[in-house]
A and B are shown apart, each in its own frame.
Chain A
Amino acid sequence: MNDVSEVGPLHEAGATELYCGLMRPEVQKKYTNVFSLNSRHVGEANLAGFEPLRKVIGAAHDRGMKVFVTYNAIYPAEQFDTVVEELESTLETGPDGLIVADIPLISYLHERHPEVRLVISTFGGAFNSHTARLYQSMGASRVTLPRHLTLDEIKTVSDAVPGAGFEVFVMSERCYFPNSLCRFEHASYRVKGGLVSTATNVLRSLLGRRMSFVSGSYNNRLINAVQDRMVSNSGMMCCREYEADLLDAAGGVVESGLPFRFFNTWNNFREACGLCALYDIAAMENVVSVKIVGRQSLTSRKVADTGMVGMALDLLESKPSREEFEKEMKVLRKEYYPHYCGPEYCYYSRPGMDKK
């Protein structure tokens, strides 16, 4: 979440925990978006200072909700002292835990602040139970698993490490590349020249948090189509359109000029949904939370996503069959996102889904 005004609506929608990041103007000016202290490189995805954070925490605690603050980047040595200073001030605001991935930062917190709950970010790359157990030994109380594990693999990892809680992704922004292995610069299009990025930067400076109307809308085919065109030409590399040549092992061209994209469209990434997968996820004893991505999204989208997940979990209480549950989830999904339900939007897709 990105503003104190969201706490109430998200609580009413069923959220029990919130997560947020900080991008203070002083720090942003010093390091630019390129060295954001968390994995969101835009202002509208973050709180602007410690006082807004304090208000969020107060409002959440009044409602019995927990707040986790994310410092989930991997920091260069040149930035580490600044991160520690920011983090110490953050802890004074009273969050319930921190989301982290940087080994020295985890060690620092475990040593200096053993009382702080540490959630390992998906940037920590815990693809297996051994890595999860390592993080547990370093003080982590929860591990966020990569988007790129299958449901069976999630069960294997989470069953193998009792005592560690696990968090899995369930809604929105299904990245093509695991965060721990992706080295594409995500802020680059903010600083490159060119009409689109310049226009985006001007809009961002004028609209501030209200930029979410563009970057965080949902179920709006017009905005999504415009965004798809924008990112296909000048956005993040995972969303761009490519021309591809197929090569043989000797480097010879087998076929040239092929159109290529990692996703079919931006929407496959943006509007991803794991509602049906909750049938399996909810049955996993050590999976303690499901993550709804999109800090920069419109409040209405976050409320819708949270509400859908809440309704799905409520339905599971009545022990439906898998078929009944999936049927209900498709109805629910189409109520909120009528244009975006299908195999290509599935967070936990399975082989053969696209052939049905």
Chain B
Amino acid sequence: MIDLDRKLFIENIGELPGGDSGFTGVYAGSAFCQEALPSRGAFEQLVKEAASRGLSFTFVTPYLTDTYFDHAFALAELLATISKGAEVTANDLGFLVRVAGEIPDLVPVAGRALAGQRTDPQIPAILEAAFSSGGQADMAGAFGHVSVNKPGFADFMLERGVRRLEIQNTKQAVSIGSSDFSYSMHSPYVFVSSTRFCPPVESYVRPGRVAGVYPCSRHCVNRYHRIKPRGSEQEFLYRGNTIYYENPVVEPPEGVDRLVVHRLPS
């Protein structure tokens, strides 16, 4: 593997890496669940401790309802006061635009939910089955698409000062088409789908369960599921409100300059 900048995704201060770990910085926060955002106190402590160890800091934020939007924005403002030049990775378009426009001391980054990748692990089989006969467009590249390949999306991001995109190691080849951006690739997990219908862990298999938006039980801190559809060998990991599969980065595509390593699906 080429020499990449390596960052570690951490979930609490106890996971901060030491100086000899090979990681130059940390990602902290949550990409897909607003309930998992840290409290102000825990966040401040984490940012300061990371800085004291010489680690760069990337605050990861999920899609947000109004209630949590303000909390996330306040954390971003706090980050700017402690660690000027730190990154905020946003998976909510409105949040990304607000941070990019209003907190100049932070570096805005487009998160995985804004990368526009088609991540279903069935895609190689679909590609073979759907596009193997004549007369069809060559869509192999389109399956590897990332959002900033489209000039209109790239312009939207560049105009707002966004110059880094977080991407995933899908089973099909990733086609990076714009040299105006830097790319971080996450490993070993690939996000496929996320929901706010997140039941308590003991209810996952209970008949009569009513899907809905419920108070968070924090079950995903210590528990998650490995799920396999009947009739398929594809395994998924269902942690909290989000579905992933495992596909470690072996040889990242050209253009990727950073690897973000996760200990658990997140």
Chain A residues within 8 Å of B, Cβ to Cβ: 29-35, 74-80, 103-105, 107-108, 124-134, 148-150, 153, 156-157, 160, 174, 176-178, 180-185, 187-188, 191-193, 232-234, 237-238, 240-249, 254, 258-260, 262-264, 268, 343-344, 346, 348-351, 353-354
Q: B122 near A188 (CB under 8 angstroms)?
A: yes
Nearest CB of chain B from residue A243's CB, rounded to whole Å: 5
Q: B223 near A249 (CB under 8 angstroms)?
A: yes
The number of residue pairs between A and B whose CB atoms lie closer than 8 Å in the complex comes to 240
7 smallest beta-carbon distances between A and B, as pairs: A104-B152, A131-B94, A349-B212, A130-B94, A76-B145, A76-B142, A354-B210
B98-125 interface with A by 8 A CB criterion: 98, 113, 116-120, 122-123, 125
A237: B residues at CB distance < 8 A: 120, 192-193, 229
Partner of A192, one of B129, B150, B205: B129
13 example contacts (A-B, Cβ-Cβ < 8 A) are as follows A30-B135, A34-B131, A76-B116, A76-B150, A78-B139, A130-B69, A130-B95, A149-B65, A182-B193, A193-B129, A244-B226, A245-B226, A344-B210
Judge whether B213 is part of the interface by a CB distance below 8 angstroms: yes
A343: B residues at CB distance < 8 A: 210
> In the bound complex, how far is the Cα of B230 from the Cα of A234, in angstroms?
8
B204: A residues at CB distance < 8 A: 244, 258, 260
Q: B65 near A128 (CB under 8 angstroms)?
A: yes
B212-235 interface with A by 8 A CB criterion: 212-215, 221-231
Contact with A along B138-171 (1 / 0, CB 8 A): 1101110101011111011000000000000000
> In the bound complex, how far is the Cα of B213 from the Cα of A177, in angstroms?
12
Question: What is the size category of the interface that chain B forms with chain A?
Answer: 35 or more
Q: A260 near B225 (CB under 8 angstroms)?
A: yes
Judge whether B208 is part of the interface by a CB distance below 8 angstroms: yes
Q: A104-B156, A128-B66, A131-B92 are in contact. Are A185 and B205 (CB under 8 A)?
A: no
A126: B residues at CB distance < 8 A: 94
> In the bound complex, how far is the Cα of B217 from the Cα of A351, in angstroms?
12
A354: B residues at CB distance < 8 A: 208-210
Q: A344 near B149 (CB under 8 angstroms)?
A: no
Nearest CB of chain B from residue A341's CB, rounded to whole Å: 13
Q: Knowing that A29-B136, A77-B149, A78-B137 are A-B contacts, what are 11 other residue pairs whose CB atoms are under 8 Å apart, sorted by A's residue number?
A: A34-B139, A125-B113, A131-B94, A178-B196, A192-B122, A241-B230, A244-B225, A249-B264, A344-B208, A346-B212, A349-B211
With CB as the reference atom, state the residue of chain A lying closest to B214. Answer: A351
